[in-house]
């Protein structure tokens, strides 16, 4: 008797799989995926649900405007089916926003120095002169303002400041931290085990560069608990801080005042006042070198 019951259950399961598969075949995207993977019906029937989830996830990515919208189990990555040696497996691939992060981090980690800077761009000369003076007079034991360098996309802001900081690290034994700020926020939120260590590093390192500030999704937590805390501590400890941004100080203040849940101009102003205390404001408008 139990054997009969087991066989009946298996038959019902098979019928359900076939029914789901036939229903899924109404979707042209599903049919196209099955065809692209060269799946036989008997194999596709068993994978219907996973293939449908992959299609839905891809559609969500097409409408995504940034990490803050990501609902995937592995943020910034999309689970996709691939075929190899007649077998189909699922693997995670980075989305376009995650790829941008990887490219940015690769540039930040590349060791460049002042000698690598192209001095032919006259629009950079004022910045380079300031950097030379900063380098010659920098003393880790004395309080010295950094730079809030803002301007057009791809004008070389990060490149210039990274070269300066690398030079200070190797020749004057200065501890530096170069942080792509949007990714740093995401990393702090996802890895609370490392939160304390990373925050302590950001607050106490000799020179900190917060790259691309203003490109992050503004939240009260990121603005007040993370950025506000880092800047206040660095002010108190008289630590040199640098920023790059595509936004002017005025534009950044407006950007920081609006989060997903509220508008708070007072807290945004506090952040801006700390940045002004820590830096000299300079602008760089030049050719987009990323082209």
- Fold assignment, 99-284: Rossmann fold (3.40.50)
**Rounded distance, CA 235 to CA 282, Å?**
20
Encode pLDDT of 39-98 as tens digits: 888 888 888 888 888 888 888 888 777 765 677 766 777 888 888 777 787 777 778 777
Encode pLDDT of 153-204 as tens digits: 877 899 899 999 999 999 999 999 999 998 889 888 887 788 899 999 999 9
Element at 243 (helix H, strand E)? strand 240-245
Q: Cα separations (Å) of 257 from 110, 224, 247, 251, 271?
A: 34, 11, 14, 10, 10
Lowest mean pLDDT among 6-10, 90-94, 160-164, 235-239: 6-10
* More confident of the two residues 158 and 290: 158
Element at 81 (helix H, strand E)? strand 77-84
SS3 39: coil
**Rounded distance, CA 153 to CA 121, Å?**
15
Name, in order, each residue with C-beta under 8 angstroms of 186's C-beta and a sequence gap of 6 or more.
67, 75, 76
pLDDT of residue 67: 61
CB 113 within 8 A of CB 160: no
Lowest mean pLDDT among 16-20, 88-92, 225-229, 260-264: 260-264
Locate the domains of the chain by residue range. 2-94, 99-284
Cα 105 to the center of its chain, rounded Å? 9
pLDDT of residue 7: 42
pLDDT of residue 60: 82
| Structure-token pair, residue 24 | 């899924």
Encode pLDDT of 98-142 as tens digits: 777 666 666 666 677 666 777 777 888 899 999 999 999 999 888
pTM: 0.65
């Amino acid at each position: 008797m139990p054997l009969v019951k087991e066989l009946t259950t298996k038959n019902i399961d098979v019928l359900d799989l076939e029914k789901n598969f036939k229903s899924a075949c109404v979707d042209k995207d599903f049919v196209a995926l099955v065809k692209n993977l060269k799946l036989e019906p008997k194999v596709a029937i068993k994978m219907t649900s996973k293939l449908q989830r992959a299609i839905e996830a891809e559609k969500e990515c097409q409408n995504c405007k940034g990490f803050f919208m990501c609902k995937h189990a592995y943020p910034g990555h999309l689970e996709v089916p691939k075929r190899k040696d007649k077998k189909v497996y699922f693997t995670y691939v980075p989305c376009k926003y995650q790829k941008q992060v990887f490219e940015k981090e690769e540039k930040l980690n590349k060791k460049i120095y002042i000698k690598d800077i192209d001095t032919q761009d006259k629009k950079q000369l004022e910045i380079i002169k300031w950097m030379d003076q900063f380098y010659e007079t920098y003393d880790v034991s004395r309080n010295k303002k950094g730079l809030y360098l803002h301007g057009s996309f791809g004008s070389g802001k990060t490149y210039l400041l990274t070269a300066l900081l690398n030079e200070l690290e190797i020749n004057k034994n200065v501890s530096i931290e170069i942080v792509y700020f949007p990714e740093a926020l995401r990393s702090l939120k996802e890895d609370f085990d490392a939160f304390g260590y990373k925050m302590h590093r950001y607050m106490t390192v000799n020179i900190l560069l917060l790259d691309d500030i203003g490109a992050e999704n503004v939240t009260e937590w990121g603005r007040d608990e993370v950025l506000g805390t880092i800047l206040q501590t660095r002010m108190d400890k008289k630590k040199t801080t640098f920023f790059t941004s595509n936004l002017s100080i005025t534009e950044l203040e407006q950007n920081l005042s609006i989060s997903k849940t509220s508008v708070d101009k007072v807290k945004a102003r506090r952040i801006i006042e700390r940045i002004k205390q820590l830096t000299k404001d300079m602008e760089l408008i030049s050719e987009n070198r990323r082209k």
